Each structure stands twice: as C-alpha cells, then as structure tokens.
Structure 1
C-alpha cells in the first residue's frame, strides 16, 4: 500500500506541467520520460563484487518533461530541477558546442550531464540537438532508494525519445547498454564507484516482479511477486546518506582488497 504522503505519478506530472508553463510560458513540452527508484531485497554491496542481487522497482521515480529546441537559435540545453533537496542553483545551461565537463556546483547536475555526455559519445548522432527540460522526482534523495539511478535512466530515456525524432541515423540502445551507460556516467561524472544494480533495475524491472540479477554477465530473471499474502514494506528512516561522501568508495576498496587477499 502506498502512503498518502507519497507523490503519485499523476501528481508528479501535474506539478511538472504547471512548473513548465511558468518556466517556459506559451510553450508546450513534447516529451515525457520516467524511470523508477528501487528497493533491494537482498545482496547489499554485491553488484560491484560480481555477485547476485535481488531488487525490485518501486512506485516512486523521476519524471522529465521537455522538448527539442531550434538549433539555429543557439546550441544550449536548459535544465531545471524542482527538487528542494539538492544544492543550488536549481537551473543550469549546457553548451553543446563545447566539451561537456563535470560540474563543481551544483553537484546534482553531474547525474544529468554525465548521461548527456556519454549518450552523445556512444550514439554519435548526425547533429547535436539542444533541448529544455524540467526534472521532478518522488524518490527521497539520500534515502537508499536509488534516486540517482532514477534520474540517470529518466534522462537517458528522454534523450532516446528526443533523438529518435531528430536524428536520421539514430540507433536506440539496448536496455542493458542503457544501464551500463548510466552506471558509467555516475562513476565518471558524479565520482561514485557504483555497481550496475540500480541502473539495471530502473531499465529492466517489470511490474509485480523482482529482478534476480547476475552481476558477472549482466543477465537477469524476473521473479513474480504478485501474491495477496505478500507485502513489501519500505520505510523512510529519514537518515540521509551521500555516496559521494567517501564511505561507499571506502567499502568498494575494502571489498577489492579482501578479494585480492582471498
């Protein structure tokens, strides 16, 4: 059962549309992309150790609405987040005529521009398409429900939809390649040595199923979870954590050192 305090997808979209009209008056978005957060049932710190994990998607996620812009005007992308739990500023611009580099501030931007940079590098579209977007999420940031992967996969989905209509030779990514791209973006731009589980779940999870992932070869099996006698309860401890802070990276290093000894 979903708590009444949780923002539904319908409410999330309504909030986005209202904010979009205020930000870009007399303009209409043409693309809407979404990716869920996740909860992991068993297998913590296992994905980057080539083990098995058992996550499932949750009814919270990140939604992005926006549209492509006329590149004859400029080659800039306008990106805004509605989240109150990220650092300032809440809006950034990305010049597509220049190399896309890591942001020192705001830190949230790296999860978005990292995906943009690697997407362009991977797909090599015949022309770079400027755009304007607004991002909103119902996933508690820093709550252990993969808000970062949700943002990354939603961003990659938006770009796929954008270039599907604007680039003649565009070839869509497979779901696994999409997850790998988003994972790499977080590693390079956000400086988090994460494994594949979060992004993989956001790309591959099915409704009423958990996902048994073999992180050795990035294969998975959907396990039915729809049962009247089964309930997965996720609580928010309100204890914030930040993977960039260093403790996560230290755990990754400890695991690597232990594996080398063994």
Structure 2
C-alpha cells in the first residue's frame, strides 16, 4: 500500500493502522444542512487514506503525498498551515473536549478528483477522527465523530459548513444514500440501486472554482440566518407556510428562504420515489433543485449551468449542480444506453465555448469510513 510505504520512508517503522474515509456526492438537499434541514448524500469510492502511529508526546507530524515530501511538525496545533489545518483541527477539538489523546505521526494519501467539489476536506477530517477514535479506544458514536470533524472545520479552519459532508463520510453504506435530518442528526440508509433500473449517475467535474466562493458561502448562510430571525423561527427548516413567509421577506432573504423550504420538500419527495421504486422519476426533482440553486440561492455558475443543460439535451433524465456551488461538479441521471450520448453532448457544449473539457465519470454509492489495516 502506497501510504504505508510512504509512512516507513517518512518516519521509519510501521504505522499502527490504516484508515480510509470517502468523499461524497449529494444527490439532493443543497444548502439545507446548516438550516437544520434534510440532505441525501452518498459516499463515493474516492477519498483520503491515513496511515497513523500514536506518539508518547503531544507532537503531531503530518505529511500528505499530494503536498510535500517533508511533514509539518506541530509541537503546537495552531502551527498547522494549509491542508494540514483540517487534520490538526480534529486534534484541537478532541483536546478541547477533554478526550485522552496524545500526538501522532500521520501520512495522508488522497485520490478525490481535484476541483470536483466531492468534499476531500471532510474526508481528511473524518479519516483522522476515526483513526484517533480507534487508536485511543475512545468508542465515540459515528455521528459524534462527524460532529467533531465538522467542529474542526467550523472553529479551527474557519469554514462555516454544515454537518452533511462529514456525516456522509462516516455513516454511508455501500449501495445506499444517506438520509440525514441535520437537526436531530437521525439518519437512515436509503437503497440506491440505479443499475436495477438501467440507470447510472454521472459526475461532471467542471474543474473550475470561482474566486470568492468561500465568502459567498458565508454570505448565503448569513442570509438564511437573517431570514429565520425576521420570521421568528429557529431556522428556515421551521417554515411551514412558505407563501406567508415570502410575503414578510424581500430581496435575498426571500429568495434564500424559497430555496431552502422547497429543497427540503424535494428531499422528502425524492426519498418517496425511491421507496416506491419509481427511480427514473427522480430526474425531474434534480432539475428543479438545480433551477432553484441557480435562480433563488444564486450559487451556480456558467460552467455548471451548461453541464446541466447539455446533459438534459443529450438525454439525461435529470441533472443538477452538487456541492456548495460556484464550480465543482454537476450530476446527471442517465439511462445506461444514453450515457455515451450525454457525455458527447456535454463535451461538445464545452468545446463550443472554448472551455477546457470537463472530466465525466460514474458515481457508485460506496461504503463509509473504515479501517483498512
């Protein structure tokens, strides 16, 4: 295993174990997680693998095979820089919460496609969290490890994400999507057997990431919090009379509320279709989600819009942007016999605009975080 070889080369000796945490694709339920709403992600086969050995002191040494031949040596956790902050943040949270952990030597290897928006940061946090939980016999529930990983990103890295990405990485089951109530953190596995219906889910990785995305993400979250405050509810998940709520709001707050409330309904509707075996019919909900993200939440971009439009033109049953927006990936639900035509249509649309070709690949629903060795 490459990560084990690198561990031996970097630190000498063997790691105590190797853990893998996957990235995720969100089937539907975008920007609802930090509004206490519903999401339906699933894990993908790509993610982060961590070879880890505990230390007798509190020093943390971190090396990524995608970054540098030399590890960052952290005698103080807040010395971490760049990518290492996501891993170091897990140590920081666990220590803040009084969990009995010391330092560790870690080598990270990731194979999440770059720029795809498949949440490599959450995979990194979760890989470290499950490793420390195992090595130190903490016995924390899986959803608790997701919360620790989210807190690392919120409070240490400074990115105000919801818990969806981390929960999907920890809790997902192969062949299933994960329905998560982001308020109660109750979850259940929902069978996602597309092949039984002659369907595939394609990821269209635009490879673009527009500047200011992180700042725009924080602004959208603030819009939602302001709207909830004006409506007198704890979060937009609590809006039960959408028409009445929209009459009380204006501008961005009105648009954000319309998206969040309708997106929660789309999650529930899509689960209903899956349970009824009407899998091909979920495509219309994917399209409705994209239009809402484009027009009401305003987090799409030309590359995502063209990918969605071209996929549908090529015969996809539905498509939408996935992830935080402003770049990253779109997903397309396609019949197996139309997959090549959809690919060709998307590539043609990009070529006509002089854009770099996106990468397009299948997205099977994979297993969540686990120990490999």
TM-score range, shorter chain: 0.7 to 0.9
Q: Does the C-alpha gap of structure 1 residues 143 and 243 become closer, same or farther in structure 2, counting only changes over 3 Å?
A: farther
Counterpart residue number, 1:129:
102
Counterpart residue number, 2:35:
49
Contact 1:38 1:202 in 2 (8 A): yes
Q: C-alpha distance in 2, partners of 1:216/1:51?
A: 7
Counterpart residue number, 2:90:
115
Count of matched residue pairs: 229
155, 161, 186: which is aligned to 1:188?
155
Q: Does the C-alpha gap of structure 1 residues 203 and 68 become closer, same or farther in structure 2, counting only changes over 3 Å?
A: same
User: 1:223-234 residue pairs with structure 2 within 5 A?
Assistant: 223-228=190-195, 229-234=198-203
Please state whether the residue corresponding to 1:231 is helix, strand or coil: strand
Counterpart residue number, 2:324:
none
Counterpart residue number, 1:246:
215
Counterpart residue number, 1:76:
59
Q: C-alpha distance in 1, partners of 2:212/2:131?
A: 25
In terms of Rg, which structure is larger? 2
Contact 1:31 1:161 in 2 (8 A): no
Q: Does the C-alpha gap of structure 1 residues 111 and 143 become closer, same or farther in structure 2, counting only changes over 3 Å?
A: same
Counterpart residue number, 2:260:
none
Counterpart residue number, 1:22:
9
199, 214, 227: which is aligned to 1:258?
227
Contact 2:50 2:127 in 1 (8 A): yes
Counterpart residue number, 2:179:
212
Counterpart residue number, 1:148:
121
Q: Does the C-alpha gap of structure 1 residues 46 and 226 become closer, same or farther in structure 2, counting only changes over 3 Å?
A: same
Counterpart residue number, 1:8:
none
Please state whether the residue corresponding to 1:101 is helix, strand or coil: helix
Q: Does the C-alpha gap of structure 1 residues 242 and 120 become closer, same or farther in structure 2, counting only changes over 3 Å?
A: farther
Counterpart residue number, 1:157:
130
Q: Deviations over 1:199-224 (max 9, x none)?
A: 11111110000011111211112110
User: 1:98-113 residue pairs with structure 2 within 5 A?
Assistant: 100-101=77-78, 103=80, 106-113=81-88
34, 44, 53: which is aligned to 1:58?
44
Q: C-alpha distance in 2, partners of 1:22/1:120?
A: 29
Q: C-alpha distance in 1, partners of 2:33/2:69?
A: 33
Please state whether the residue corresponding to 1:233 is helix, strand or coil: strand
Contact 2:28 2:39 in 1 (8 A): yes
Please state whether the residue corresponding to 1:145 is helix, strand or coil: coil
Please state whether the residue corresponding to 1:143 is helix, strand or coil: coil
Please state whether the residue corresponding to 2:125 is helix, strand or coil: helix
Q: Does the C-alpha gap of structure 1 residues 94 and 17 become closer, same or farther in structure 2, counting only changes over 3 Å?
A: same
- Give the alignment's Cα RMSD to 1 decimal: 2.1
Q: C-alpha distance in 1, partners of 2:181/2:168?
A: 12
Contact 2:115 2:205 in 1 (8 A): no
Q: Which has the higher helix share?
A: 2
Q: C-alpha distance in 1, partners of 2:62/2:213?
A: 22
Q: C-alpha distance in 2, partners of 1:220/1:243?
A: 33
Contact 1:192 1:244 in 2 (8 A): no
Q: Which consecutive segments of 4 or more residues in structure 1 shift more than 3 A?
A: 241-245
Q: C-alpha distance in 2, partners of 1:141/1:24?
A: 27
Q: Alpha-carbon deviation of 1:119?
A: 1.6
Q: C-alpha distance in 1, partners of 2:173/2:212?
A: 26
Q: C-alpha distance in 2, partners of 1:45/1:149?
A: 16
Q: C-alpha distance in 2, partners of 1:116/1:226?
A: 37
* Structure 2 residue runs without a partner (length 5+): 232-373
Contact 2:114 2:207 in 1 (8 A): no
* Structure 1 residue runs without a partner (length 5+): 1-13, 165-170
Contact 1:102 1:189 in 2 (8 A): no
Counterpart residue number, 1:3:
none
Counterpart residue number, 2:71:
91
Q: C-alpha distance in 2, partners of 1:148/1:15?
A: 20
